[in-house]
Structure 1
């Protein structure tokens, strides 16, 4: 018996393994256009990174605690449903799903930006959009072969991304010029506070998916201590790489060049080692950006797939092929992504990228905030509201909420407009879902008839 227990323990992740998982889940192709976007704000954006790291740390610790208290399939969407009921759960699912596929559009735009380093014609809005759409549908076909194929592709492409991020973050300091970095402190024309809030919204893009960094407690040794520590360590590693790479690029590439660069890491490599290095960096970045799309396409189909099983999404979202992939869902979201690519097409790829990531950030913040407030509600329901940890996590919830509100305000008028429109649309949509549930006899109203 003891030998069986030892074998099970040996297969569980310790703090080092879980830290690597947390860091690798966050670090990816999302950072490849951030230096250009943050350069449009100026060097003051360094404080936006500080605000974002503190806020994301609070989010991560709260989500980790909730996952330990109530391990649930569905993650933060499930927690919102538990704490606030089926409508909020439905709204969170819709927003989370939209955030996922809109975020994948941003990856395509970033990949096109680096590909334009070799083919300048891609900087033309229509040409770039059509190329992105063709590449998207190629990956939809590839994703239909299943998660194993996607995993093999992404393992290789992730290495390409890490080489670029780590290489620039470490080696770039030998070419760092303080004059370049401080050349433009605040380029927004607004107050420093406004610039910091705006930069924190953009920086959050690099950490989206933080809720997926903490795995089930059943896979971790001593999860009560290991999960929070690994989350903090993983976030710190990711933060150092992000901040270092973005800061060093702003110190290498002149400001007037960087704000127009569709491939900031390639531009930095070009200034460091010459055109050949720029070509290599751009090629690796293209592989990293496009290669991660296949896995994310499968991941983005999981929320509507679960929603289809519970009756809140149309049934076709749950239809799978022989590889257990919901192909109809992939095709549907592929059409939506193609529309967004055409609607946001811009001669400035960096501007297009920024518009899209702010849309994705706004869509993710609503389920994030619901999941934050869900923790004290769940702890109260479990009679844990008089413990020391309740006060600690209550403070983290407040920090996370303040940061989320700042990020919402910093996402811009356009993102706020479309985000609010999306939230309003979920109200009549839920009426249709409720009607469908009523036909199946699943709908239950949580009220009592007071006339009796």
Structure 2
């Protein structure tokens, strides 16, 4: 899988893609999507189609400009380093918020087994912050340790997804459960858009192999396969599993559950199995947290190597781990958790989810525009740009506006970096 602790093979690259997507979303989103009814199903279909279009755009760019090294490099190639910096910066911010979001989701499921974790307002945030640091320590051991952990957790997390699909199939075949009527919640374009924005969180991460392309063996082949296969597999699983939970559970039960996946299994199977699902959910979240922790350090190092951050962040240890980038990123992710510690667990999850998603969308939009500018897969690039803009609108002015402000706040960092680079270039 890994050569000299420095390279990921196809299995590990696909595990990075699937593992980063199948994390907290499949286990917590049914509660957020339950009030949308069949709008959520339409949202899943739109999101999966949009993600596949964007995945094809990234694959086309990887083949057309392999020297760019990944999505931020595609933007720099098309529009220059300044545009490349701001898109890279907001994506790095999105990774920090994603790390925070997944840690909160893991604690939400842990609280199902350990109620004391959610007994007071600040406890979930403190527990999430502790989990962030545990995974940072694991990644500090090197790429081999993080890669092996990712493969194992992906294998484990798929088990409960298959279980839910099997339960739903038995229920529907035997007429033992009633699907929510289509007219229970009116299907409207606005509701589909809002649902699609929430569902996109579950597919954020399809770009993971492309972001880590420099750490993947034979990236021209393996990044393309990992991206397309991983996105398609995850999209189908999500559509089946989340739709089953949201449409078969009573709406009020699903919407009020802190662990809707476990609630579904307990209601239609038994409490013992539900307890095991909770364990699987925690493993799934921890596995995704591991993958995003790897990406946050790799992203910062890649920016430093391309001159978009000070070279200080590019330093690595004997195992090739960018310890400085990992340390700073983990501190910032912890700050995002603590900044919103007063929110309830579900509210904290949904707020960070929308912020992470809208922040990622700026990268997707920029890559689609870069593909159009570079004359790469232009029909798909146009579709991808339209989809990204549509979903940014669906995220709402609060989340999308804040993500834009966070992108603009990178200006002092960019000016500082350019100043350092200019001084370093002087004889």
Where structure 1 has 5 or more consecutive residues not aligned to the other structure, the ranges are 1-11, 380-389, 443-452
CA positional deviation for 1:168: 1.0
Pairs aligned (count): 410
**Partners of 2:208 and 2:295 within 8 A in 1:** no
Task: Supply the distance in 2 between the matched residues of 1:144 and 1:320 (Cα, whole angstroms).
Answer: 10
Q: What is the DSSP-based 3-state SS (H/G/I as helix, E as strand, rest coil) of the residue aligned with 1:32?
A: helix
Question: Could you tell me the TM-score, scaled by structure 2's length?
Answer: 0.87
- Identify the residue that residue 400 of structure 2 maps to in structure 1: 416
Give 2:181's aligned residue.
182
| CA shift for structure 1 position 265 | 1.3
Distance 1:277 1:325, change over 3 A: same
| Post-superposition offset of 1:220 | 8.1
Distance in 2 (CA, whole Å) between partners of 1:205 and 1:291 is: 16
**Structure number with larger C-alpha Rg:** 1
Once the 2 structures are TM-superposed, how far is the Cα of residue 76 of structure 1 from its aligned partner? Answer: 0.8
Matched, 1:44 2:39: yes
The whole-number CA distance in structure 2 between the counterparts of 1:298 and 1:395 is 33
Contact 1:261 1:350 in 2 (8 A): no
- Contact 1:260/1:350 (<8 A) preserved: no
- Specify which of 356, 360, 370 is matched with residue 356 of structure 2: 360
Alpha-carbon distance in 2 for matches of 1:193, 1:180: 22
Q: Go from structure 1 to structure 2 and tell me whether the alpha carbon gap of 1:292 and 1:56 turns closer, same or farther (over 3 Å shift).
A: closer
2:121 and 2:342 in contact (8 A); partners too = yes
Provide the C-alpha distance between the structure 1 equivalents of 2:60 and 2:177, rounded to a whole number of angstroms.
Answer: 41
Equivalent position of 1:125 in the other structure: 121
> Per-residue CA shift, 1:17-50, capped at 9, x if unaligned?
8996697356421422221121243331111112
Q: Name the CA shift for 1:235/1:137 in 2 (closer, same or farther; >3 Å).
A: closer
Distance 1:233 1:147, change over 3 A: closer
Is the partner of 1:341 in helix, strand or coil?
helix
SS, match of residue 303 in structure 1: helix
Pick closer, same or farther for the CA change 1:313–1:115 going to 2, 3 Å: same
Q: Distance in 1 between matches of 2:22 and 2:160?
A: 11
What TM-score comes out, normalization by structure 1 length? 0.82
Equivalent position to 2:204, from 191, 203, 208: 208
CA distance in 2, matches of 1:349, 1:180: 28
Q: Is the 2:28–2:259 contact (alpha carbons within 8 Å) kept by the matching residues of 1?
A: yes
Alignment of 1:216-231 (within 5 A): 219=218
- Residue equivalent to 2:387: 403
Residue 144 of structure 1 contacts residue 323 of structure 1 at CA under 8 Å; is this kept in 2? no
Aligned Cα root-mean-square deviation (Å) = 2.9
Which aligned pairs between 1:23-422 and structure 2 lie closer than 5 A? Answer: 24=18, 27-30=21-24, 31-72=26-67, 74-123=69-118, 124-175=120-171, 179=178, 181-182=180-181, 185-186=184-185, 192-213=188-209, 219=218, 234-345=230-341, 348-379=344-375, 393-422=377-406
